[in-house]
């Protein structure tokens, strides 16, 4: 069976996080409903990913697949493929659980759904606090983070961190926390290098983990208005030939060489292998400089329906109609009572 060997990033504080992990967000369909029918495929994909050598699994309460992720993990432990301590499992606290006391309830429910004793990392998914009804709860993310610190003290997770925090929010958090976040999971890709935020995190020993690492190269995310590169752009084509790697591998390797971890999601076995096979080549300086020119601040995933909420982390888009937050991002079957069913 094919095996991939994934190195870790080591933080000064001693933590080690795999440089490539496995993402588990199935996404929304055209009607903005969650693609729940793909959950069984996700279960298969997580088992396959662990079989071939992935050790970091990134999930979230929002993703509805914690039961599948937990099942896959327990099965692979039972089969002797891995030990629990070999894995690095991340989940996240959603926006309607931002009161400090709700953070613990959310983490305990995640553990219950996954059938696990502890998590390796829990993140605040977004800095905004939004109720299931879509009300702006205006809870300070520092309060939510205090809830996370309490969860850490109780031993429910080994590390804590944040996601979608901008530079000012990171500065404020680092100035006001007792336990530093291990990572900030943000959108970074060839079109969106986020240099200032990445530099600040790295100088402060916070690992940057990139999501949507392929940017708009993915055909489902490419439209006439999206910036270069595409899979078949001449530059990507030439680099693919030169290094004997695909455009997606070049995109992931580029981030790795900047000290950024990635968590690509795929339900396709060949791509699961492809995305982790980026540790046997090196993009040279001239090609890095060429790739850096694609940086244009373009945000492939831009959730404008969040933009009028307190603590929204990105620049607002002017002159557009703002729809309400899709119901699938506010309520879900086991979202209200955090039950296991």
Q: Which stretch binds ligand NDP (CB under 6 A): 195-203, 263-271, 279-287, 322-330?
A: 263-271
Could you tell me how many helices (H) and strands (E) the chain has, helices first?
Answer: 10, 10
- Selected range binding ligand NDP among 17-25, 74-82, 94-102, 138-146, rule: CB under 6 A: 17-25
Instruction: List the alpha helices (DSSP H) in the chain.
Output: 39-52, 66-78, 100-114, 141-153, 167-176, 195-203, 234-243, 247-257, 269-276, 285-292
- 218 is a site residue for ligand NDP (CB under 6 A): yes
Which residue of the set 54, 63, 256, 309 is catalytic? 63
Paired strand residues for 121? 90, 159
Q: What SS3 string covers 180-210?
A: CCCEEEEECECCECCHHHHHHHHHCCCEEEE
Q: Least distance in Å: CB of 319 to ligand NDP?
A: 25
**Tokens linked to 304:** 């404008």
Catalytic-residue membership of 200: no
Tell whether residue 68 is a contact of ligand NDP (CB under 6 A).
no
**Which one, 8 or 240, has the nearer CB to ligand NDP?**
240
The pair of structure tokens assigned to 87 is 């894995």
- Applying the rule CB under 6 A, the residues between 172 and 191 that interact with ligand NDP are 185
Answer for the pair 235, 205: CB distance below 8 angstroms, yes or no.
no
* Nearest alpha-carbon partner for 190 in 154, 221, 146, 158: 221
Q: Residue 244 and residue 273: Cα distance in Å, rounded? A: 15
291 in helix, strand or coil?
helix
Token output for 336: 């209200």
Stretch that binds ligand NDP, among 7-15, 21-29, 73-81, 308-316 (CB under 6 A): 21-29
Q: Are 275 and 264 in contact (CB under 8 A)?
A: yes
25 binds ligand NDP (CB under 6 A): yes
| Interaction between residue 106 and ligand NDP (CB under 6 A) | no
* Residue with Cβ nearer ligand NDP (25 or 200): 25
296 within 8 A of 75, measured Cβ to Cβ: no
Residue placing its CB nearer to ligand NDP in the complex, 101 or 315? 315
The contact mask relative to ligand NDP for 297-336 (x = CB under 6 A, - = no) is ----------------------------------------
Which of 106, 157, 191, 213: binder of ligand NDP (CB under 6 A)?
A: 213
* The only residue of 271, 290, 314, 328 in contact with ligand NDP, by rule CB under 6 A: 271
Question: Which of the residues are catalytic?
Answer: 63
Q: Which residues bind ligand NDP (CB under 6 A)?
A: 23-25, 58, 125, 163-164, 185, 211-214, 218, 220, 248, 263-268, 271, 274-275
């Amino acid at each position: 069976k094919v095996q991939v060997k994934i190195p870790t990033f080591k933080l000064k504080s001693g933590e080690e996080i795999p440089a490539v992990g496995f993402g588990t967000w199935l996404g929304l369909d055209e009607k903005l409903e969650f693609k729940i029918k793909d959950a069984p495929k996700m279960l298969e994909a997580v088992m396959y990913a662990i079989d071939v050598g992935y050790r970091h699994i990134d999930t979230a309460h929002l993703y509805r697949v914690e039961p599948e992720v937990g099942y896959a993990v327990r099965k692979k432990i039972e089969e002797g493929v891995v030990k629990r301590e070999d894995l690095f499992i991340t989940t996240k606290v959603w926006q309607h659980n931002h009161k400090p006391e709700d953070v613990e309830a959310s983490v305990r429910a995640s553990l219950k759904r996954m059938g696990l004793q502890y998590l390796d990392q829990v993140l605040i998914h977004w800095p905004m606090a939004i109720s299931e009804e879509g009300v702006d709860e205006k809870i300070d993310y520092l309060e939510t983070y205090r809830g996370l610190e309490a969860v850490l003290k109780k031993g429910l997770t080994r590390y804590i961190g944040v996601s979608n925090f901008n530079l000012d929010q990171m500065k404020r958090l680092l100035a006001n926390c007792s336990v530093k976040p291990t990572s900030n999971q943000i959108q970074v890709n060839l079109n969106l290098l986020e240099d200032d935020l990445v530099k600040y995190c790295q100088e402060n020993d916070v690992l940057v983990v990139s999501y949507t690492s392929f940017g708009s190269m993915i055909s489902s995310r490419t439209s006439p208005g999206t910036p270069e590169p595409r899979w078949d752009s001449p530059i990507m084509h030439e680099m693919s030939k030169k290094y004997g790697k695909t455009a997606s591998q070049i995109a992931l390797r580029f981030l790795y060489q900047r000290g950024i971890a990635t968590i690509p999601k795929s339900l396709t076995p060949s791509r699961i292998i492809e995305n982790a096979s980026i540790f046997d080549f090196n993009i040279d300086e001239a090609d890095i400089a060429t790739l850096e020119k694609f940086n244009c601040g373009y945000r492939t995933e831009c959730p404008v329906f969040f933009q009028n909420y307190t603590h929204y982390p990105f620049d607002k888009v002017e002159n557009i109609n703002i729809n309400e937050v899709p119901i699938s991002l506010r309520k879900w079957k086991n979202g209200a009572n955090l039950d296991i069913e």
